[in-house]
Structure 1
Amino acid sequence: MKYNNPVIKGFYPDPSVCKVEDTYYLVCSSFQYFPGVPLFESKDLINWKQIGHCLTRESQVQLGSVGSSGGVFAPTIRHHGGRFYMTTTNDTTRQNFYVWTDDIYGEWSDPIFVDQGGIDPDLYFEDGRAFFMSNGVDDEGVGGVVQCELDMETGRKLSPSRSIWKGTGGRYLESPHMYRMNGHYYLMAAEGGTEYGHMVVYARGDEISGPFEAYPNNPVLTNRNLGRYELQGVGHGDLIQDHEGNWWMLHLGFRQIGQYLTYHHLGREVFLTPVTFGEDGWFTAGHQGTTLSSFETDRIPSDIIQQVQKNFTFENTDWKLDWCYLRHPELSHYVLEENKATLKGTDISLDLPKNPTFIGIRQRDFDVEISCEVQLNHGEAGITLYMDENHHYDLALRNEGTTYQVIERLNIGDIKSVEHKVDLAASNQVTLIIRADRKQYSFYTHINGKGILLGTAQTRYLSSEVAGGFTGVVIGLYAHGEGAIAEFTEFRCVYA
């Protein structure tokens, strides 16, 4: 059968995966968004359903006033002894920790902190022992992939932290994962930075603590030399073996907006790439070491159909799964019903690294039409295309004394400009519409049954190449202003 990449679309970076019986489970980074660490399940590796989050309580993660792309970095999910573990980093507080659950559909524990620095932590279990790895600096000040043995009940180190591999020489060694296969320990990591030079590398050894011999043909997977190809930034992977014994890599990558337009704004997404072991025990990945937009494979039964959701509404999404807040929300400001959202504004705007009244859903593809009915008493409310506090486009209904206006506002770095506005006289209800393709967003409103184009804005100014950071565009509903009450109905997000 033929499957298409990405297998999870939109801002879901840094995937990690484990398998329990006939089901695969996957987690991703969430940074400043809450709840933290989205959790998915699948039976076939190509169709993924979100079933929860690992961090659902303020006691589990400190977000506070973290800036965009701060907070929760790359997680790892593992299953051992009937228990699931998720370990991650709060990069803002510089703390590695893990949580656990015996019920994958239930709540996770409060955090257990580990006294080892670095980021991108990994857990490996063997013979009743637990090993913790991260990329950082060991107890002697030596950098690289750092390893210690842990007491999983307390998080206490049972051995000193020791650097066991320094990688192949690429910049930003990260994302270490340990596996035991074919009589060897395999240590896989990423290098090159999570940008256009990203790559997956690995080494193997006879002991869990090394020494490790690098794969002679590293990097094993990268798209860094595929100029003009849509899929770029391939790296940060995790290996998994399927029901039939085949190996795969779930990894991140991103889609640039055009052959010669090296910008991406949807964020880093989840890709699936086949892995093949040779007789010498080394493995290769993908098509000649690259990831493709689609793979033809006999590893997945031909009767399995890859499902793609095209239409997102209030009615067919779950407020607790598909939607997210900025940092820790004041939940009393949200009344979320089956077909309506009522938001109470405050004086905290989208431009501040705090907790504005905002609830969002990730943009999952380039071509989309977003629409919503908004009713407002005063203040401002509408739809935002949100990359970070300094890069977002807003289409909103705004109260101006006794009148109302629809505004199109562009926020690009230090430039914050209301580009266009349309007066509504005394009407306090309006339809807002945003149409998007790869290169631009177009902003409309409907007044008296007539569509009015307010203006356009280029997608590139919401890209990681312009804004920086590690997130992607989130389609947000927001309210701003003390005492502002906004009612959102008829939400539609329809992809081509």
Structure 2
Amino acid sequence: MRYQNPILRGMYPDPSVCRSGDKYYMVCSSFQYFPAVPLFESTDMVNWQQIGHCLTRKSQIDLTGTSTCGGVFAPTIREHNGRFYMVTTNDTIHRNFYVYTDDIHGEWSEPILVEQDGIDPSLFFEGDKVYFISNGYDHERGCGCIQMCEIDIATGKKKSETKPLWYGTGGRFVEAPHLYKFGGYYYLLDAEGGTEYGHMVNYVRSKSMWGPFEPFPQNPALTNRNLGGYLLQGAGHGDLLEDKHGNWWFVHLAFRQIDPWLTYHHLGRETCLVPVTWKDGWFYLGDGTSRLEYDLPDRPEVEQKLDFSRTFETLEEKKDWCFLRNYRPECYQFRKDGLRLTGMPDTLFEKGLPTMAAVRQTAFQEDISCTVTSSCREAGITIYMDELHHYDLYCTDEGTAVLRLTIGCISKEMKTVPVDGAAALHIRATAYGYSFAVRSGGTQTEMGFADTRYLSSEVAGGFTGVMIGLYAIDEAGRTADFTDLHLMHTEQR
């Protein structure tokens, strides 16, 4: 049996994983989108089903005014004595916090703040003590580091001073720390090089959790930085786990560039899975690189599900859909066969709260279609990277359909055609571009084409990914109805 990477496709970066009994749970970053921190469950480490989010209330996470790549960074999930903990950073206000739950399918607690700076926090439990790890900055040495303190898990209060543990291997942006104990050693993991083409995973070990640490002789333990022309790049930032069969795994982020020789990626950083082996007290992450396909251990009951097509009938309001910054529930009426949006004045060009329900684009080749019946000033589909980089196909209250492309400081209406009542909007995506069309009154009109590269992180900046959004803009609070949504993959991988 073989499985394909990514195992979570679309913008699901910074994965962290834990095991509870015979099941596995994973969380990922969500940045400016609400609800925050998507939560997944699996029984085999290959197929993952989203079961909810960890942060579902404004009292847990307030994303008002959050810019692209702000908000919720790099969560870690851990289970201890039957209770699950998720620790993360609200980078908009630069605070670390954690929430907990005794029911993984239920609600999570209000946040508990930890007075340690840095990002990418993690928890380590040993006996009755709990340690809080994050990246940070050693002002005495004048460089980044991995740092740790002991905390009271009931209150988040520090029980010790914060101490630098490790300064990495020399790569920039020392991040993504996790501390483990296997056998007689403590293992400290990090990611370095920036979450781009030079990304890498390194680790050290020690008999003491406070060090001094001995580096893995073959660091970097995982990187694709030298795999020129390979579609999977940016491998780094991950988490280690032993499954119920005794197999070891490493989940990590990576991204797929659009072509072997075109170094652009727009789907965001995705979650991949690498098998792990042990030798002489060191763990090896695959062959030191991350690949698009791997052999599974001899477990023929595991078959990877590769059908990712979506419709209104298969998408669930509180699991699959997300919203920019915060959520006005009165603006969204979800039904099995459609969605009614109440337009608000906020647009896609600002850091407000536009009425937009979005899902991640998960494949290069995808057919996106939806029928819109609207009285709003503007309502349609957006292919959205950020406020300054999005492609919008929409209907107006003047009886027209418009294709508008926004690339940086330039926004242009490329084509306008009349429509009569309901309009079927169609977008065909490939790795290289989007083709736009409108069908109304029995006539289909090709609206234009736009390159994917202008929505890529290499052009737009940042480190999120393209979202497919249904949106409505209106100063008078009029409504738009969306029906017949189809997001159909047209590729094998």
**TM-score with structure 1 setting the length:** 0.97
Structure 2 residue corresponding to 1:340, chosen from 338, 344, 354: 338
Aligned residue number for residue 126 of structure 1: 126
Aligned residue number for residue 295 of structure 1: 294
Contact 2:165 2:211 in 1 (8 A): yes
* Root mean square deviation of aligned Cα: 1.1
Amino acid corresponding to residue 67 of structure 1 in structure 2: S
CA distance in 1, matches of 2:217, 2:443: 64
> Cα–Cα, structure 1 residues 396 and 345, in superposed 2: closer, same or farther, change >3 Å?
same
Name the SS for the 1:465 alignment partner.
Answer: helix
Contact 2:31 2:72 in 1 (8 A): yes
Amino acid corresponding to residue 439 of structure 1 in structure 2: Y
Contact 2:375 2:396 in 1 (8 A): no
Residue correspondence of structure 1 range 66-465 to structure 2 within 5 A:
66-137=66-137, 143-278=144-279, 280-286=280-286, 288-297=287-296, 299=297, 301-400=299-398, 404-424=399-419, 427-465=420-458
Aligned residues: 488
Cα displacement (A) at 1:139 = 8.5
Name the SS for the 1:461 alignment partner.
Answer: helix
Question: Structure 1: which 4+ aligned runs deviate by more than 3 Å?
Answer: 138-143
CA distance in 2, matches of 1:428, 1:148: 62
Amino acid corresponding to residue 437 of structure 1 in structure 2: T
Name the SS for the 1:73 alignment partner.
Answer: strand
Which structure 2 residue ranges, 5 or more long, are not aligned?
Answer: none
Aligned residue number for residue 10 of structure 2: 10
Amino acid corresponding to residue 293 of structure 1 in structure 2: L
Contact 1:228 1:260 in 2 (8 A): yes
Cα displacement (A) at 1:137 = 2.7
CA distance in 2, matches of 1:200, 1:179: 15
Per-residue Cα deviation, 1:403-441 (whole angstroms, up to 9, x for no partner): x111000011001000111122xx231100000110010
CA distance in 2, matches of 1:310, 1:464: 24
Aligned residue number for residue 65 of structure 1: 65
Amino acid corresponding to residue 198 of structure 1 in structure 2: H
Which structure 1 residue ranges, 5 or more long, are not aligned?
Answer: none
Contact 1:386 1:393 in 2 (8 A): yes
Name the SS for the 1:75 alignment partner.
Answer: strand
CA distance in 2, matches of 1:39, 1:281: 32
Of 325-334 and 360-369, deviating more is 325-334
CA distance in 2, matches of 1:428, 1:473: 29
Cα displacement (A) at 1:350 = 0.4
Query: What is the aligned-residue identity percentage?
Result: 53
Contact 1:139 1:162 in 2 (8 A): no
Q: Does 1:487 align with 2:472?
A: no
Cα displacement (A) at 1:106 = 0.3
> Cα–Cα, structure 1 residues 52 and 378, in superposed 2: closer, same or farther, change >3 Å?
closer
> Cα–Cα, structure 1 residues 199 and 423, in superposed 2: closer, same or farther, change >3 Å?
same
CA distance in 2, matches of 1:482, 1:336: 22
Per-residue Cα deviation, 1:201-231 (whole angstroms, up to 9, x for no partner): 0000010111111111100000000001000
Of 342-351 and 117-126, deviating more is 342-351
Amino acid corresponding to residue 258 of structure 1 in structure 2: D
Per-residue Cα deviation, 1:365-391 (whole angstroms, up to 9, x for no partner): 000101001011130100000101110
